[in-house]
Structure 1
Amino acid sequence: MRKQKQQWAGWGPAGGEQAQQHYLVEPRYLAGGGDLRHVTEYLRASGWKDKSKTGGPVVFESPDKSVRLGYDPFTQPGGWTLSGRQTPVQGAWHATLSRQTPVEIVAGVTDALTRPRSAHAPNVWAPLEAQGWQMEQGRHVTVRSADGDAVVRWHQSGHGHGHWWAGARNEHGKVWEAFFTPTTPMHLVEAFSTALADPQPVMRPLGRVPPSQRIRTTSVSVRPSELSAWQQARINAARAATWARSSFATTRARTGPGARPYAAKAGRPR
């Protein structure tokens, strides 16, 4: 593990606070699980309902009740599950991401669930290839990171069926893996691959950095107010986007899709 040290460029005056040691970790896919609230608080701010029971697994449900997110630390192998129910335009789907999948990568998928789909056709491979990941030809379509420690694969079975699989490993073995059923909406798998390939490091507090020689770390001093401000900015962004969508939907419902509410009434010339 290679280390560097620098002072974190903060969001404001220190105010007498005691700075705490954190680490910027790269590549992000070997950074360890991270803080669950990076995922759950964004969903909460986006209008998802917290269905968790005290002492039990984390459970969140989308506003339209079409998707359910779970995180279970009590079972083996445990980790994240995402389930989408069948709709008139989408088959039922399921995804699992194991416990040590970095929350920033999980959030790539869950954040995308809170936004309207893009008009462009999804391409799972494009974000990976843009960051220098290499495609391998064979029975299964595989793209591997430049360091060889992370893989995304379209796994084709002998019966014409297939599924998406991804995983990462370090010198100690498998770190995490993710599985998406064939019916998983492609824009969600693309969002996953985009977050996975993102070259930006992720932050972990002292004591939460994996013991691996495959990662690079930069030591930074962070004041609690700085960390809180960064977390709050993410939550505020979710709330703003949710409000904007709600406001647009309300206006559209009142005026109708083709209405021009400010158009002047036509009159006969005099």
Structure 2
Amino acid sequence: MPPAPETVEVDFTTPRHLAGGGDPAWITVPLHRACGWSYGDDPLMPRVLLSSPDQKALLRLEPNPDDPWWTLRHAAEPNRPAWYARFGARTPVELIAAVTDALTDAAPAADAPCDPYGALHQAGWSPYGDNGLASSDKTAYVERLGTPADPGAWSVTVTLGTHQKIWQARFGAHTPPRLVAAFTAALADPKPVHRSNNGRHLPTLDPAVVTRQTTDVLAVYIASALEDRVHSLAARHTPTPTAPVPSRQAPPRHGRSR
């Protein structure tokens, strides 16, 4: 009898903003393999640097207890000043990946969301402060700093209680709105995210705050998820083959069209 397929225990966690950071490879591997971003290799430094093919964008991942672990910077362009986005260590990789996926999409859909508040309104988030929204469980907050006449950076904060900040993200004032909207849409998505660490990296195990559904999943499915993601993103850059132009040769005398 053949051995039973290997399985791994996976936690499917909601809300996703309290699921922990996850595997950084979910972001870095597709950027390199599917989107052509280059990386510098320095084995003596615990950091990752990835730069876009046009050298305008730089993603930096550097573990630092006092600063954001993820920093994305983009150089100025003729129609937009330089901009940045920063993410704390416990920001779920699925949310950051939504930003990098949108950034590297050469032909975004015409109906791609551009209002960072749109998905949050649809998810039932409530007003917070002068220009912000709060999740229904009051653990996540999104707000536009500055004033309506002079809007500034976008701030996203996830907390447990009054004083326990879990992670924070910030988008500079000139960050393209569609990238901020991609982040907030992923933030508002009710679908759980999976983690294979048995809750060790969750900020809380309180069942009143976090829902965990533990399931045994075939190991091959977990192993192939990243590869499937790489192929899916690479397909965006593959030009669609054009149909061959039919020749103008005369049809055969004894043939039947189909």
**What TM-score does the superposition give when structure 1 sets the normalisation length?**
0.80
AA of the residue aligned to 1:200: K
In the alignment, which residue of structure 2 is the partner of 1:60?
50
**Paired position in structure 2 for 1:86:** 76
Shift of the 128–62 alpha-carbon distance from structure 1 to 2, 3 Å rule, reads same
Q: Is 1:16 paired with 2:4? A: yes
- Which of 36, 39, 49 aligns to 1:47? It is 36
Equivalence for 2:103: 113
| Residue range with higher mean Cα deviation, 159-168 or 86-95 | 159-168
Other-structure match for 2:24? 36
Q: Does the 8 Å contact 2:68/2:86 carry over to 1?
A: no
Residues 58-104 of structure 1, C-alpha deviation per residue, up to 9 Å, x if partnerless?
11111111111111114522411010001112210011111110101
Letter in 2 for 1:38: W
Task: Note the alpha carbon deviations across 1:218-246, whole angstroms, 9 max, x for none.
Answer: 001123211012221111101211223xx
Where does 1:198-209 land on structure 2 (aligned, <5 Å)?
A: 198-205=189-196, 206=198, 207-209=200-202
Secondary structure at the aligned position of 2:238 is classed as helix
C-alpha distance in 2 between matches for 1:83 and 1:26: 30
Question: 1:144 and 1:15, CA in 2 relative to 1: closer, same or farther beyond 3 A?
Answer: farther
Contact 2:27 2:96 in 1 (8 A): yes
Matched residue, 1:97 = 87
Alignment counterpart, residue 128 of structure 1, candidates 103, 120, 123:
120
Specify whether residues 53 and 75 from structure 1 end up closer, same or farther in structure 2 by C-alpha distance, changes over 3 A only.
Answer: farther
Change (3 A) 1:229 1:15: farther
Question: Structure 1 stretch 113-122 or stretch 37-46: which is displaced more?
Answer: 113-122
Residue 55 to residue 243, structure 1, CA distance change in 2 (3 Å): farther
**What is the letter of the counterpart of residue 134 of structure 1?**
S
Contact residue 82 and residue 94 of structure 1 kept, 8 A: yes
Structure 2: unaligned runs, 5 residues or longer: 249-258
Q: Does 1:193 align with 2:180?
A: no
Task: Provide the residue aligned with 1:180 in structure 2.
Answer: 171
RMSD of aligned alpha carbons: 2.6
**Structure 2 vs 1, CA of residues 204 and 157 (structure 1 numbering), >3 Å: closer, same or farther?**
same
1:216 corresponds in structure 2 to 211
Q: 1:196 to 1:235 in 2, by over 3 A?
A: same
Distance (Å, rounded) in 1 between the aligned partners of 2:176 and 2:193: 26
Q: Are 1:52 and 1:60, in contact at CA under 8 Å, matched by a contact in 2?
A: no
1:150: which partner in 2?
140
- CA contact 1:30–1:169 (8 Å) conserved in 2: no
Residues 179-226 of structure 1 deviation map (CA, whole Å, 9 limit, x = unaligned):
111111111111111111111100111233343312100001123211
Shift of 1:167: 1.1
| Offset at residue 262 of structure 1 (A) | 5.0
3-state SS in 2 of match to 1:234: helix
**Residue 64 of structure 1: SS of its match in structure 2?**
coil
Contact 2:159 2:167 in 1 (8 A): yes
Identical-pair percentage: 31
**Matched pairs, number:** 238
In structure 2, the partner of 1:5 is none
Counterpart AA for 1:211: T
Structure 1 gap ranges (5+) = 1-13, 252-260, 266-270
Amino acid at match of 1:147: D
Q: Write the distance in 1 (CA, Å) between the matches of 2:94 and 2:126.
A: 22
- Using the alignment, how far apart are the partners of 1:233 and 1:125 within structure 2? 30
8 A contact 2:19–2:193 mirrored in 1: yes
Letter of the 1:129 counterpart: H
Q: In the aligned structure 2, how far is the partner of 1:68 from the partner of 1:92?
A: 12
